[in-house]
Amino acid sequence: MILSDRKILAEIAKGNIVIRPFDPSCLGSNSYDVHLGPYLAVYRDGALDARRPNEVEEFRIPERGFVLVPGQLYLGVTREYTETHTFVPFLEGKSSVGRLGIDIHSTAGKGDVGFCNYWTLEMSVKLPVRIYAGMPIGQLIYFEVSGEVGHAYDTKKGAKYRTVSAHPTPSRMHLNFRGRKAPRPGRKR
């Protein structure tokens, strides 16, 4: 079941959901609007490697905005820090953002019980579009969990995105390969 506005407020009062900063005007009937933070990042190399850390170049979005272009992956971040202790948060793009041809996540729209951080956005566009820090970018929807959670994200050993950061976090996929030797480029396995 999806939490209603009143249920979201009740769970915030209990401390089961945390949204900072919280603005009551951003609460919809069954969601909460989040905003684009001030930073974007792009990968420095054209070809990424899942077994290695990939360097990013981060920059602050200028006051005049920044034009996203097709064919480029941008890592953004929400202005809001969130915690979810008993529900599963889903981050979806707002319809107005989608109608501008902006996708805010490639595959990572679902959080975990125990996720306590800012949300990194994997942004891409269909057409060039100017964006601005602070603009509404997505909405959080909270789902009830059926059954007891054995390992919340904030206590899970090996959780790769627990370090709190108000900056876009690049892929940490390479940590899945710890202890395995990475193949040299050009060699088949």
Give per-residue pLDDT as tens, 103-136.
Answer: 998 776 788 899 899 999 999 999 999 999 999 9
The pTM for the full model equals 0.87
pLDDT band (50, 70, 90) for residue 164: confident
Contacts of 92 (CB under 8 A, 6+ apart): 31, 104, 109, 138, 139, 141
Q: Is 122 annotated in the active site?
A: yes
Q: Express as a percent the part of the chain with pLDDT over 90.
A: 70
Question: Which structural domains are found in the chain, ordered by start?
Answer: 5-45+58-146 (2.70.40.10)
- At residue 183, the pLDDT reads 56
Give tens-digit pLDDT for 55-71. 999 999 999 999 999 99
Spatial distance between the Cα atoms of 113 and 162, rounded to a whole number of angstroms: 12
Structure tokens at 85: 């202790």
Choice among 57, 80, 122, 148 that is catalytic: 122
Nearest to 135 by CA among 86, 176, 94: 94
| Beta bridge partner(s), residue 58 | 41
